[in-house]
Amino acid sequence: MSKQDQYTMTDPRTQYDSEHTHYNSDQPDPALDKKLDPSADHGETTYRGSERLKGRKALVTGGDSGIGRAVAIAFAREGADVVINYLPSEKVDGESTLEILKEAGVSAKGIAGDIKEEDFCVSLVDEAKGFLDGLDIVVNNAGKQQFVEDIENLTTEQFRTTFETNVFAMFWITKAAAKYMPPGGSIINSTSIQSYQPSPGLLDYASTKGAITSFTKSCAKMLIEKGIRVNGVAPGPIWTPIQQSGGQAPGKLPNFGENTPIGRVGQPAELAPAYVYLASQESSYVTAEILGVTGGKHLP
């Protein structure tokens, strides 16, 4: 796997070695980065910061692994203090991420809990704001994704919990955070290519991502009255634990990402700069937008 930083010119088709033959689907849900095979690049040894977020205060849900870990690492190396949230069962990944964040010389804290619960979402925001002594960046990233091939096997329970995790939690956290965030603050929601090009077998997940996209655009027009920008990032096929723990059909994993124009799966580290841009003042005239990071499977 490539270990170049984000500034080195590289052919994007070969920036990361494929290793597709090693992909498997033997992780239980919730998945752990510690068990991910092959491992993913979150920017641990590749992301170099330049103080683009110096002094900022950020909350990142799902910050223990995958895209959330990559975003938290990038934010910390850009100078932001960071609070990450994760499930109690993901503590081992959360602690590993916190070690990396603290090495950047910023304040960092992990708060374990289930964002399907409204009371926890409110307390999460309050605790993060207290630890950080403020809050000006919120990344609603945590998500649930489980592949179900036949609609007859898609249970009401799964449909409900996918919406609670992906949509309701975003609403509760955004509502709780907006009262604390100053003008210039930024909220970034993780949506997906599934919002625009939904796959069979991801009916509930794709539906939530469509809701997130619409929520982002509507909320942006509401919160700009407070000077808060709201945007989203839509990843394409990215190699994270969620894919290896039932997020994709097992037979799809060996060739996961090969149907993109770039021809390979994406790495979490390749998402982080998009979030940094949307969190920074560089994107001051950008709100109600969805930024695609899809390997060429472009958004409409």
Active site members = 205
Asked if residue 206 lies in contact with residue 164, where contact means CB atoms within 8 angstroms, the answer is no
In the block, tokens 């307390």 appear at 123
Q: Which of 195, 205, 284 is nearest to 243 (CA)?
A: 205
Asked if residue 30 lies in contact with residue 245, where contact means CB atoms within 8 angstroms, the answer is yes
Q: How far apart are CA 182 and CA 134, in angstroms?
A: 9
Crossing angle (nearest 10°) for helices 169-178 and 203-223 = 20
Q: How far apart are CA 101 and CA 83, in angstroms?
A: 10
Q: How far apart are CA 137 and CA 148, in angstroms?
A: 34
Task: Give the three-state DSSP class for 186.
Answer: strand
Asked if residue 137 lies in contact with residue 80, where contact means CB atoms within 8 angstroms, the answer is yes
